[in-house]
A = this chain, B = another copy of it.
Amino acid sequence: MMGSVGEVHAQRMRFDEALALRSGASLAGYDLVYETYGELNAARDNAVLVCHALNASHHVAGTYADEPENVGWWDNLIGPGKPLDTERFFVIGVNNLGSCFGSTGPRTIRPGTDEPYGPDFPVITVEDWVHSQARFADRLGIERFAAVLGGSLGGMQALAWSFLYPERIANAVVIATAAHLSAQNIAFDEVARRAIITDPDFHGGHFYRHGVVPRRGLQVARMIGHITYLSDDVMAEKFGRALRSGDYSFSFDVDFEIESYLRYQAEKFSSYYDANTYLLITRALDYFDPSREHGGDLAAALAATRANFLVASFTTDWRFAPQRSREIVEALLANHRNVTYAEINAAHGHDAFLLDDPQYHGLLRAYFERIVAGLGSGR
C-alpha cells in the first residue's frame, strides 16, 4: 500500500561557523530549514538527501497540519510504499541557502543591521550549497548518504555531491539535468534577470525598504521559465490555439488559453517568490560547470567520483535534453563508474521529472530497491 508521510513539520538548524563561498565571500552564520520523513536506521546508512530546484523547498512530501492543501513537491515519489519508500529510507529535504522559503537568504535580516540582506546576499554556487549540506549532514550524524537525489538544478547538486564528497555518497540520482548550461539556457536566465532588474520596483534589490515587490519583472521571468519547462507538444495538447471566449478580441487582452494560464501562474509566483532569490538561483545555474577547472574535460572533473549513478532524462525535455544527460553518462563511463541511464519517453518536457509517469517511477523504485538490498553491508 502506498501512502502519504502524513503531517510533517519543518525544522530549523542554526550554523554559527562562517561558510566560505566559492566567490571568495563568506556567509557569517546561517539557518537551514529542513524536513525529514522516515527513520534513520541504527547503521545510519539509509539517509537520502533530496535537493531542490528553482521554485521548490524543503517541503518535499506530506502536508502541514495548518495547511492540508500544501502537499510536498515530490509527494508522488516519497512515502510509505512509494518508489522512495520512507519505511526503508530516512529522507531529508533541505531548503537551499539564498532561497526564500526559510533558510537564510536575501529576505533574512542581515546580522548587525535591521534590514534584509537583499542584493548584498552573496552569490551562491551549486558547490556552496553542497558544502552547506555536508555540514548539515554532519550535524545530523550522517556520514554517508545512501543516495543524493535531485532533478534539474537538484540534479546538479546530486552530481556535485558525487565529486566533492565521493566518500559520503553511495548513490547519485541525477535527473533531467546537465553538467553545465548551454548558451541558450544562459540566454533565457539572462532575459529573466533583466526583466527583474529593470523593473523600477526592484530598486537595485532594495525593494523591501520601499514596501514594494518587482512583480512585473518576476511575472515575465516566471512566464519565460514556464515556457521552457513544458514541451511544445504538451503545450499544443493542453492549450493549442483554444480561445477563452471563442473569438478574437482584437486587443492585447487574454484571448488564448495559453495566455491566461501563463498570466495566472506568473501572478501566483510573483506573490510569494523573492526577486533576489530568483537572481541568485539562475546565477547558480549559469555558473555550474565542473569541467571548467579541468580545461572543459568533464571526465576529468568526474574522476574523483565513487558513487553509483542513476542518470535519467526525458525525450521531450528541451531545457535539458537527453543529449545533456548522455554527456554526463559518457564522462562517468570514461571513469568506469557504475551507471544506469534511462531516457524516458514522456510528453511533458522538463516538468516530467516532477510527474508520476509509471515508467519513470518504476525505474526509481527499482533503483531504490537495489539500494535497500545493499543497506547495512557497509556496517
**CA–CA, A216 to B202, complex, Å?**
13
- Residue A354, interface by CB 8 Å: no
Q: Indicate if A188 sits at the interface (CB-CB under 8 A).
A: yes
This protein's copies in its complex = 2
Q: Is A28 an interface residue (CB 8 A)?
A: no
A226 nearest CB neighbor, chain B only: B187
**Chain B residues whose C-beta falls within 8 Å of the C-beta of A238 in the assembled complex:** 183
Please indicate the chain B residues that have their CB under 8 angstroms from the CB of A182 in the complex.
232, 235-236, 240-241
Distance in Å: Cβ of A27 to nearest Cβ of chain B: 13
Tell me if A181 counts as interface (CB < 8 A to partner B). Answer: yes
Q: Mark A165-199, 1 if CB is under 8 A from B, else 0.
A: 00000000000000011111011101101110111
- Specify the chain B residue showing the minimal Cβ separation from A231: B184
Main DSSP-derived SS at the A contact region? helix
Q: Given A25-B250, A183-B240, A235-B183, does the pair A191, B262 have CB atoms closer than 8 Å?
A: yes
CB closest residue in chain B, given A276: B252
CA distance A154 to B283 in the complex (A): 37
- The residue in chain B whose Cβ has the minimal distance to the Cβ of A122 is B250
Q: Would A289 and B241 count as touching, CB distance under 8 A?
A: yes
Which residues 218-255 of A sit at the B interface, judged by CB distance below 8 A? 219-220, 223-224, 226-227, 230, 232, 235-236, 238-241, 248, 250-252, 255
Closest residue of B by beta carbon distance from A180: B241
Nearest B residue to A238 via CB reads B183
| Residue A131 interfacial (CB < 8 Å) | no
Q: Which residues of B contact A235 (CB under 8 A)?
A: 182-184, 187
Is there an interface contact between B184 and A236, defined as CB atoms closer than 8 Å? yes
What range describes how many residues of A lie at the interface? 35 or more
Contact B220 A194 (CB under 8 A): yes
CB distance from A99 to the nearest CB of B (A): 17
A226: which B residues are within 8 A, CB to CB? 187
Q: A258 at the A/B interface (Cβ < 8 Å)? A: yes
Q: Are B259 and A123 in contact (CB under 8 A)?
A: no
A279 interface residue per 8 A CB criterion: yes
Q: Identify which of residues 260-292 in chain A touch chain B, using a CB-to-CB cut-off of 8 Å.
A: 262-263, 266, 279, 283, 286-287, 289, 292
- Tell me which residues across on chain B come within 8 A of A68, comparing CB atoms: none
Most buried by B among A190, A193, A292: A190
In the docked arrangement, what's the CA distance between A326 and B332, Å? 40
**A245 CB → nearest B CB, Å:** 14
**Residues 115-138 of chain A, each 1 if its beta carbon lies under 8 Å from chain B, else 0:** 000000011000000000000000
Q: Using CB atoms and an 8 Å cutoff, list the residues of chain A in contact with chain B.
A: 22-25, 122-123, 180-184, 186-188, 190-191, 193-195, 197-200, 216, 219-220, 223-224, 226-227, 230, 232, 235-236, 238-241, 248, 250-252, 255-256, 258-259, 262-263, 266, 279, 283, 286-287, 289, 292, 318
Q: List 8 A-B contacts (CB under 8 A).
A: A23-B250, A25-B250, A183-B235, A183-B256, A186-B256, A187-B235, A197-B252, A198-B219
12 further A-B contacts with Cβ under 8 Å, apart from A23-B250, A183-B241, A191-B220, are A23-B248, A183-B232, A184-B235, A187-B226, A191-B223, A191-B262, A197-B252, A198-B219, A198-B220, A224-B224, A241-B289, A318-B318
